[in-house]
Amino acid sequence: MKARSLQSLLTGYSNSDQDMIRAARTFAEVAHQDQKRKSGDPYISHPLTVAQYAAGLGMDAETVAAALLHDVVEDTSFSLDDIKNKFGESIAGLVDGVTKLGEVDYNLDENTHSTRHATSVENLRKLLLAMSKDLRVIIIKLLDRLHNLQTLQYLPLDHRVRISEESLAIFAPLADRLGMGAIKAEIEDLSFKYAKASAHELTKRLVATRKQDSLRGLDDLKQTIKIQLIEAQLSIVAIDARQKHLYSIYKKLQKTEGDITKIYDLVALRIIVPSVQDCYQALGILHMHYKPLIHRIKDYIAVPKPNGYRSLHTTVIAPDGTILEIQVRTQVMHDEAEYGLAAHALYNMHKDTKAYRSGKQTQLAKPLWLEDLAQLSNTKQSFGDLVEDLKIDLFQDRIFVFTPHGDLYDLPEEATPIDFAFAIHTGIGLRAQGAKVNNRLVPLDKKLENRDIVEILTKKTEAPNRQWLSFVKTAQARTKIKAHFRAQSKTSNTAQGKALLEQKLKSSGVLKIESIPAAMLHDVIQSFNQRDIEGLYMAIGEGNVNVVSAVRRLIPQVHKPARPKAISGEITGRPVVVGASELPCTLASCCKPVPPEAITGYITRGSGITVHRLGCGNIATEQDRLLECEWEMASGKVRNIYLLKITNHSRVGMMRDITAIIAALNINIVKSTSIENEIDQKYSQIQCLLEVGNPMLLTLALRQLRQIKDVVSAEIVDS
Ligand code: MN
């Protein structure tokens, strides 16, 4: 990042903005008057550089002023109120945001990594809130961090290491997520040196050995390509060669196991053309002249990277055998790749400097993921959950694993081969049946390590396992597995429902569903709130529609609530033991039961069976001597007996409420029992055997019963 002098940049701003920036500079100079940086420079050099960077990115005047003032509250005797009074709420808000971010204890200690202290979690929250309030705060903070890294050599060694590690873990990913590629690269390279000193040395030496090779002939090749594009009538905005930044080479080296000759994009040629169409045209022309490596053609224009990065990438073989990566993009894509969100400010600067810098546009559009984070920090979820969610995104360490072909995938720590499989492709994830890590068969729940080479063994058909859900780490894998089972259960439920209905229809004498008149079928389907027959099948398969009631509606002749239990005859007045009517019984003299009172038999000691009213006090304690009894029926008249089943929340008075309704309709309760649900004590079931002369009364009874408080369901079942 290059800083232009503040004075030269001032020219782009309106007169009043220039005055404000100058005032901020003076204020900062006075505030930091007697302070020096560790380098020995006057302190003002730091905020001045940060402000110059901000101006260089085309940020608005408020951001530039806030950059000048960003350390005043933290490091001088001036307060936020002083800034507010002099520069207003907006600039004070920015300074406050940056100051708060400075207080965040990013806490990267190994031992606190998994169990963050509540305080640092609170700080993370502050970080998020600050971020979501105004992105300009984050941009100032990134530029602040950048300059601190640039002057890191003046700090004690342990500070250098801590700040570098923190920058690699938090600030580089942050810049990346904001699409600020240039700043991310610089933060990474500056941190790399101290955070991983020996790896840094090694990478540098490896690159030095290759650089001559890769640069040799590159200039000629560049000229040739330029001519080839121009001959094809393509206009070129810029064409230049650039070396990949050191830290990204280091990451690539992990993928090639330290073999630098396998890194083809050590140096890449970047071609900038006027339009998207030109990008594709340029790619075509390149491929006409040079053979591309087919698996390295990447269309990030059609499918941008998650942070919005767009470009066409191809790797071609030059006539002399050099393998070269070429990136083709437009100027807009290029600015976005380098400066991310700030790029939008840049366009405006390119377009109409005065208008933009007049400070009209101060709010940058927020990327979606940042909105998500903002929501996250607003919700009332526990700090623990917040950290969990965050880990997935920004703060969790990532591991880098490779396909046998060397394609790199970054996954969260503790990711498994299943996560890897889904990261490659949903189809591979769903068909996974085994995995080799570094050429050895491993269980699918093995936790992958950095630099593992993972090969997924697949079967022909999709057959994921529900158990995978218990160990996968990525949301991607989890979502895809769940979606699969949802879809699958949909098909299998439909098939099951269809089979069930066909079977029931068959046993009711209808051989095929097709023999039911279409109009009637349609009505029945609609009566179950389904769109089509498939929907009805699925509802039956899922258990949402009772197959019996479906059949009843489909076949008019069995269209009855339930087949009544036909008992012939009238009550004779003689009690009989159920299932043993030959046993002699006598009516008890204590309670003198009369038909149709519910009765029970009592086995006496030595004088046979006496029949009492159900609930008679004399026999209440003698449960194991009781026998089920009923009144004998004389043959002739048919009684309509139905079994009513009521599921309810147990409460006092439930039975009373039920019998009141039934009695009011003049329905005879032949017998009633209450069964506690053993699995769930909250529910109980009441069963009543009802004698109903007119079945219409039954419908009425059901309707009223269902309205009783605490009744869950009331239905007539086949007794
Ligand atoms: Mn600072």
Question: Which of 242, 243, 157, 149 has its CA nearest to residue 203?
Answer: 243
State in Å: Cα 656 to ligand 1 middle: 78
- Residue-level pLDDT at 45: 93
Amino acid making up residue 658: I
Mutual orientation of helices 341-351 and 331-339 as an angle, nearest 10°?
130
Read off the pLDDT of residues 337-357 as tens digits, 9 standing for 90 and up.
887 766 555 444 444 433 333
State in Å: Cα 309 to ligand 1 middle: 29
Question: Per-residue pLDDT averaged across 492-518, rounded?
Answer: 78
Question: Per-residue pLDDT averaged across 7-14, rounded?
Answer: 76
State in Å: Cα 70 to ligand 1 middle: 6
What is the SS3 assignment for 567-630? EECCEEEEEEECCECCCCEEECCCCCCCCCCCEEEEECCCCCEEEEECCCHHHCCCHHHEEEEE
Q: How sure is the predictor about 274, in pLDDT bands with cuts at 50, 70 and 90? A: very high
The yes-or-no verdict on residue 157 having pLDDT over 90 is no
Rg (CA), the chain: 40
Dihedral sign, CA of 645, 648, 652, 658?
negative
Q: How far is CA 180 from CA 16, 48, 139, 193, 214, in A?
A: 29, 21, 10, 21, 27
- The structure tokens listed for 346 are 């840049």
**668-672 contacts at long range (C-beta below 8 A, 24 or more positions apart):** 668/596, 668/692, 669/598, 670/596, 670/598, 670/630, 670/641, 671/598, 671/630, 672/598
What is the SS3 assignment for 343-377? HHHHHHHHHCHHHHHHHHCCCCCCCHHHHHHHHHH
Contacts of 379 (CB under 8 A, 6+ apart): none
| Exposed / middle / buried, residue 358 (Cβ in 10 Å: 0-12, 13-18, 19+) | middle
- The structure tokens listed for 635 are 């043959």
State in Å: Cα 20 to ligand 1 middle: 20
- Give the single-character DSSP code of 453: B
Amino acid making up residue 99: T
Q: Of residues 29, 41, 75, 542, which has the active-site annotation? A: 75
The yes-or-no verdict on residue 359 having pLDDT over 50 is no
Question: Which of 305, 304, 297 has its CA nearest to residue 280?
Answer: 297
The yes-or-no verdict on residue 672 having pLDDT over 50 is yes
Q: Of residues 19, 74, 259, 410, which has the active-site annotation? A: 74
Question: Per-residue pLDDT averaged across 151-161, rounded?
Answer: 88
- Give the single-character DSSP code of 510: -
Mutual orientation of helices 157-166 and 181-195 as an angle, nearest 10°?
140
State in Å: Cα 144 to ligand 1 middle: 5
Question: pLDDT: is 189 or 379 the higher one?
Answer: 189
Question: Per-residue pLDDT averaged across 543-555, rounded?
Answer: 78
Tally of CB atoms within 10 A around 47:
26
- Residue-level pLDDT at 368: 45
Do the Cβ atoms of 669 and 633 come closer than 8 Å? Answer: no
Question: Per-residue pLDDT averaged across 256-273, rounded?
Answer: 82
State in Å: Cα 335 to ligand 1 middle: 26
Q: How sure is the predictor about 588, in pLDDT bands with cuts at 50, 70 and 90? A: confident
Question: Per-residue pLDDT averaged across 671-695, rounded?
Answer: 75
DSSP states of 49-81: HHHHHHHHTT--HHHHHHHHHTTHHHHSS--HH
Tally of CB atoms within 10 A around 679:
7
The yes-or-no verdict on residue 395 having pLDDT over 60 is no
**CA 559, CA 582: separation in Å to the nearest integer?**
38
Q: How sure is the predictor about 372, in pLDDT bands with cuts at 50, 70 and 90? A: very low
Task: Find which of 10-19, 50-59, 273-282 is predicted with most confidence, using mean pLDDT.
Answer: 273-282
**CA 20, CA 33: separation in Å to the nearest integer?**
19
State in Å: Cα 19 to ligand 1 middle: 23
- The structure tokens listed for 175 are 């810049």
What is the SS3 assignment for 108-158? CCHHHCCCCCHHHHHHHHHHHHHHHHCHHHHHHHHHHHHHHHHCHHHCCHH
**CA 445, CA 331: separation in Å to the nearest integer?**
45
Dihedral sign, CA of 518, 520, 523, 527?
negative
- The structure tokens listed for 29 are 């100079």
Candidate from 38-42, 173-177, 313-317 with smallest mean pLDDT? 173-177
The yes-or-no verdict on residue 319 having pLDDT over 60 is yes
**CA 158, CA 381: separation in Å to the nearest integer?**
36
Active site residue 75: yes
State in Å: Cα 71 to ligand 1 middle: 5
State in Å: Cα 101 to ligand 1 middle: 11
Read off the pLDDT of residues 627-649 as tens digits, 9 standing for 90 and up.
788 887 765 445 677 888 888 88
State in Å: Cα 161 to ligand 1 middle: 18
- Residue-level pLDDT at 119: 39
**409-415 contacts at long range (C-beta below 8 A, 24 or more positions apart):** 411/448, 411/473, 411/474, 412/473, 412/474, 413/473, 414/447, 414/448, 414/473, 415/447, 415/448, 415/472, 415/473, 415/474
The yes-or-no verdict on residue 364 having pLDDT over 70 is no
The yes-or-no verdict on residue 609 having pLDDT over 60 is yes
Do the Cβ atoms of 147 and 49 come closer than 8 Å? Answer: yes
- Residue-level pLDDT at 392: 40
Task: Find which of 11-15, 63-67, 590-594, 629-633 is predicted with most confidence, using mean pLDDT.
Answer: 63-67
Task: Find which of 132-141, 553-562, 584-593 is predicted with most confidence, using mean pLDDT.
Answer: 584-593
- Residue-level pLDDT at 504: 81
Contacts of 251 (CB under 8 A, 6+ apart): 400, 408
Q: How sure is the predictor about 446, in pLDDT bands with cuts at 50, 70 and 90? A: very high
State in Å: Cα 376 to ligand 1 middle: 28
**CA 643, CA 571: separation in Å to the nearest integer?**
19
State in Å: Cα 33 to ligand 1 middle: 15
- Residue-level pLDDT at 388: 43
State in Å: Cα 564 to ligand 1 middle: 87
Do the Cβ atoms of 646 and 686 come closer than 8 Å? Answer: yes
- Give the single-character DSSP code of 423: H
The yes-or-no verdict on residue 409 having pLDDT over 70 is yes
**Extended strands (E) in 231-300:** 238-243, 267-273, 291-292, 298-299
Q: E strand or H helix at 533, and its extent? A: helix 533-542
Tally of CB atoms within 10 A around 11:
9
Question: Per-residue pLDDT averaged across 127-140, rounded?
Answer: 67
**CA 456, CA 404: separation in Å to the nearest integer?**
10
Q: What helix, strand, coil percent values describe the chain, rounded to 5? A: 50, 20, 30
State in Å: Cα 14 to ligand 1 middle: 26
State what percent of residues in the chain have pLDDT above 70: 78
Q: How sure is the predictor about 678, in pLDDT bands with cuts at 50, 70 and 90? A: low
Answering whether pTM is above 0.95, one says: no
Q: How sure is the predictor about 509, in pLDDT bands with cuts at 50, 70 and 90? A: low
Q: How far is CA 686 from CA 391, 420, 641, 703, 706, in A?
A: 52, 54, 16, 16, 13
State in Å: Cα 64 to ligand 1 middle: 13
State in Å: Cα 671 to ligand 1 middle: 86
State in Å: Cα 1 to ligand 1 middle: 16
Question: pLDDT: is 638 or 467 the higher one?
Answer: 467
Please give the angle made by the CA atoms of 697, 701 and 702, to the nearest 5 degrees: 120
- Residue-level pLDDT at 571: 66
Do the Cβ atoms of 465 and 429 come closer than 8 Å? Answer: no
State in Å: Cα 239 to ligand 1 middle: 36
Amino acid making up residue 343: A
3-state DSSP call for residue 445? Answer: coil
**CA 10, CA 17: separation in Å to the nearest integer?**
8
State in Å: Cα 53 to ligand 1 middle: 13
**CA 364, CA 349: separation in Å to the nearest integer?**
14
Question: pLDDT: is 401 or 41 the higher one?
Answer: 41
Q: In what order do the strands lie in the sheet with 609-613?
A: 571-577, 626-633, 599-603, 609-613, 585-587
The yes-or-no verdict on residue 243 having pLDDT over 90 is no
Q: How far is CA 224 from CA 88, 235, 282, 320, 325, in A?
A: 56, 15, 14, 13, 15
